[in-house]
């Protein structure tokens, strides 16, 4: 099997399935009436958590590529990133349409005056141009500017973590965990770490050849 | 526990008219609500509800006992129902001390014996902006206070929860300053709405709801309704309270339900009544204003949040 075939028929379907699992679990729980006493809160938390998790995974793609030398992993980043955007849109739609039931005055007040919602809304806004320019055509047309634009994902992820941190009442362990993961993922991109990663990788390759 | 027959009740104990009318609505509501579980996702229009304005059905026993904030058993809403089984609630003692004529430590049965238990349906509004309607069983805190005879130096009533990390795993991490403590001004504690509660839906309180004895103060945010009480002290100065210690800017001593004073990070203008699709507008004092507003005449409730 060539790498392309394997990517198209094995790896991508697996990743697609994986990305749909969070939504699938919600559907199953809804059918089993297992959405807790506060289903709207559960749906919001679940979709938000999934968004952040998928964003972190997209940020892990480049470090994984550098550590393992597997260039193909880049092909998965757009897929996972778009799923993160998908869950972010569901998360926002639930807030907009079910939680606040299109009460635009309350929504506007929330976005303007509640820092955690300002942050969440900002993070979503930042993801929109990223999703919109995710096509091969855009990559080609924007050239070098594409790279620069897509650095916004770092900001979106950071603001997303802030949204989570500002929302929780007392249990800051999960937002702080995400913050920690984000810091590690960003550090892994620093040049000094890139060089160490390359050295480790080269050394590991040499061992079997001896 | 039987409700006393009419000829046993002295006139001084007859319920004031306003409370009696409300209670009649509440009890018929309990009868209706106890028969059927609340249908989830009822598409009620955004309600401007209040006592007596429409029937407020109690939430299901399942919802009330599986959606709890009781950090002594974990920080998630389903943790208390999962982990509170480890708590041993019998034997249980309650220490009454401070500025009272007869300080003493009571076995729970002895504390409860002189009091008639009654069923009351109250709204409970959490500071997190969700709410439920709950049929409690208990007796007025004021009756206990009368019995123990606070002296003139008693200005506040302080409460304390059990500290037993071996059975309450959440107490092993310092999320809050354990044991959980709460307090009321003496006149708030004497108010007929303030209940000492031992049961729910006519049955003993499940552990996750604060067994075997808890407070319910329905016009304040839910965290004031302290659970699993082991000590009631009568003190001169405003006592420390757990959430105020944890974050004074966000959680005040009074914590009256107030749609006009937002939590620093979220709005208190609306609430999610569990079981309903649309949010409700939050009522001043959780809809009990006609009974409690006078306690705060002249107080700036933005300052004393």
Tens digit of pLDDT for each residue in A79-94? 999 999 999 999 999 9
User: In this structure, what token pair is assigned to residue B148?
Assistant: 């123990």
- Per-residue model confidence (pLDDT) at position A199: 81
- Per-residue model confidence (pLDDT) at position B5: 38
All residues of chain A having their beta carbon less than 8 Å from the beta carbon of residue B127 are: 169
User: In this structure, what token pair is assigned to residue B114?
Assistant: 């002189």
Nearest-angstrom CA–CA distance, A160 and A146: 22
ipTM score here?
A: 0.84
Tens digit of pLDDT for each residue in B115-167? 999 999 999 999 999 999 999 999 999 999 999 999 999 999 999 999 999 99
Pairing of strands B130-140, B270-273: parallel
According to DSSP, residue B14 is labeled: S
Tens digit of pLDDT for each residue in B53-78? 445 899 999 999 999 999 999 999 99
Element (H, E) at B145: helix B141-148
Q: How many residues does chain B have?
A: 305
Tokens 């129902």 locate to B81
- Per-residue model confidence (pLDDT) at position A196: 76
pLDDT surpasses 50 at B22? no
pLDDT surpasses 50 at A121? yes
Q: Does B59 touch chain A (CB under 8 A)?
A: yes
Nearest-CA residue of chain A relative to B59?
A: A37
Pairing of strands B118-125, B270-273: unpaired
Give the residue, A191 or B171, on which the prediction is more confident: B171
Q: Does B105 touch chain A (CB under 8 A)?
A: no
- Per-residue model confidence (pLDDT) at position A208: 54
- What angle (nearest 5°) sits at the alpha carbon of residue B33, between those of residues A31 and B129? 70
Which of the residues B266, B267, B276, B277 would you substitute to probe the A interface, choosing the one with the greatest number of A C-beta atoms within 10 Å? B266
Q: What is the mean pLDDT of chain B?
A: 86
Listing DSSP states for chain A in one string gives --HHHHIIIIIHHHHHHHHHHHHHHHHHHHHTT-S-S-HHHHHHHHHHHHHHHHHHHHHHHHHHHHHH--GGGHHHHHHHHHHHHHHHHHHHHIIIIIISTT-HHHHHHHHHH-HHHHHHHHHHHHHHHHHHT-SHHHHHHHTHHHHHHTTHHHHHHHHHHHHHHHH-SS--HHHHHHHHHHHHHHHTTSHHHHHHHHHHHHHHHHHHH-
User: In this structure, what token pair is assigned to residue B236?
Assistant: 């001169």
Which A-chain residues 147-206 have CB contacts (< 8 A) with chain B?
A: 166-167, 169-171
Nearest-angstrom CA–CA distance, B118 and B9: 14
Which of the residues A33, A37, A45 would you substitute to probe the B interface, choosing the one with the greatest number of B C-beta atoms within 10 Å? A37
- Per-residue model confidence (pLDDT) at position B72: 97
Contacts (Cβ under 8 Å, ≥6 apart) of B164: B87, B171
Instruction: Name the pLDDT band for A192 (thresholds 50, 70, 90).
Output: low
All residues of chain B having their beta carbon less than 8 Å from the beta carbon of residue A170 are: 71, 75, 175-176, 246
- pTM greater than 0.90 (yes/no): no
Pairing of strands B93-98, B229-235: parallel
Kindly list the distances between the CA atom of residue B10 and the CA atoms of B13, B114, B143, B194, B205, in Å, as whole numbers in the listed order.
6, 14, 14, 21, 29
pLDDT surpasses 90 at A2? no
- Kindly report the nearest CA distance between residue B277 and chain A, in angstroms: 7
Q: Does A34 touch chain B (CB under 8 A)?
A: no
Give the residue, B15 or B66, on which the prediction is more confident: B66
Nearest-CA residue of chain A relative to B64?
A: A37
Nearest-angstrom CA–CA distance, B156 and B228: 19
- Per-residue model confidence (pLDDT) at position B15: 41
Q: Does B75 touch chain A (CB under 8 A)?
A: yes
Among B127, B246, B274, whose Cβ lies nearest the Cβ of A37?
B274
pLDDT surpasses 80 at B184? yes
- Per-residue model confidence (pLDDT) at position A68: 87
B19-296, CATH topology level: Sulfite Oxidase; Chain A, domain 2 (3.90.420)
- Per-residue model confidence (pLDDT) at position B4: 40
All residues of chain A having their beta carbon less than 8 Å from the beta carbon of residue B265 are: 114-116, 166-167
pLDDT surpasses 70 at B299? yes
Q: Does B62 touch chain A (CB under 8 A)?
A: yes
């Amino acid at each position: 099997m060539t790498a392309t075939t394997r990517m198209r028929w094995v790896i991508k379907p697996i990743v697609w399935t994986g990305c749909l699992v969070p939504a699938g679990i919600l559907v199953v729980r809804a059918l089993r009436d297992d959405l807790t006493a506060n289903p709207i809160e559960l749906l919001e938390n679940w979709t938000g958590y999934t968004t952040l998790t998928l964003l972190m995974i997209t940020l892990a793609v480049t470090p994984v590529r550098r550590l393992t030398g597997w260039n193909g992993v880049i092909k998965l980043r757009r897929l996972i990133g778009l799923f993160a955007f998908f869950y972010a849109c569901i998360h926002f739609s639930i807030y907009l349409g079910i939680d606040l039931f299109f009460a635009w005055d309350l929504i506007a007040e929330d976005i303007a005056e509640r820092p955690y919602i300002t942050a969440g809304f900002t993070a979503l806004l930042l993801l929109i141009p990223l999703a919109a320019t995710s096509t091969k055509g855009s990559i080609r047309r924007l050239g070098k500017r594409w790279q620069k634009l897509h650095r916004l994902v770092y900001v979106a992820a950071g603001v997303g973590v802030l949204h989570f941190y500002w929302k929780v009442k007392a249990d800051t362990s999960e937002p702080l965990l995400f913050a920690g993961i984000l810091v590690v993922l960003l550090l892994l991109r620093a040049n000094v770490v890139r060089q160490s990663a390359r050295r480790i990788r080269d050394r590991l390759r040499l061992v079997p050849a001896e | 526990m039987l409700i006393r027959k009419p000829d046993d009740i002295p006139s001084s104990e007859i319920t004031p008219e306003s409370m009696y009318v409300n209670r009649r609505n509440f009890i018929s509501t309990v009868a209706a609500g106890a028969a059927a579980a609340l249908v989830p996702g009822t598409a009620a229009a955004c309600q401007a509800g209040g006592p007596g304005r429409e029937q407020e059905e109690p939430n299901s026993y399942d919802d009330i006992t599986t959606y709890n904030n009781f950090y002594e058993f974990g920080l998630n809403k389903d943790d208390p129902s999962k982990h509170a089984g480890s708590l041993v609630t019998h034997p249980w003692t309650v220490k009454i001390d401070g500025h009272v004529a007869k300080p003493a430590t009571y076995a729970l049965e002895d504390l409860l014996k002189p009091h008639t238990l009654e069923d009351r349906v109250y709204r409970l509004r959490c500071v997190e902006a969700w709410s439920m309607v709950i049929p409690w069983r208990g007796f007025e805190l004021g009756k206990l206070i009368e019995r123990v005879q606070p002296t003139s130096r008693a200005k506040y009533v302080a409460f304390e929860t059990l500290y037993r990390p071996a059975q309450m795993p959440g107490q092993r991490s310092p999320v809050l300053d354990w044991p959980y403590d709460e307090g009321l001004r003496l006149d708030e504690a004497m108010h007929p709405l303030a209940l000492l509660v031992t049961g729910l839906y006519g049955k003993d309180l499940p552990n996750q709801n604060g067994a075997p004895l808890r407070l319910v103060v329905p016009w304040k945010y839910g965290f004031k309704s302290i659970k699993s009480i082991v000590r009631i002290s009568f003190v001169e100065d405003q006592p420390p309270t757990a959430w105020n210690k944890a974050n004074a800017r966000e959680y005040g001593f009074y914590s009256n339900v107030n749609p006009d004073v937002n939590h620093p990070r979220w709005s208190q203008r609306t609430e999610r009544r569990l079981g309903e699709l649309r949010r409700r507008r939050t009522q001043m004092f959780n809809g009990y204003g006609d009974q409690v507003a006078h306690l705060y005449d002249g107080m700036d409730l933005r300052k004393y949040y």
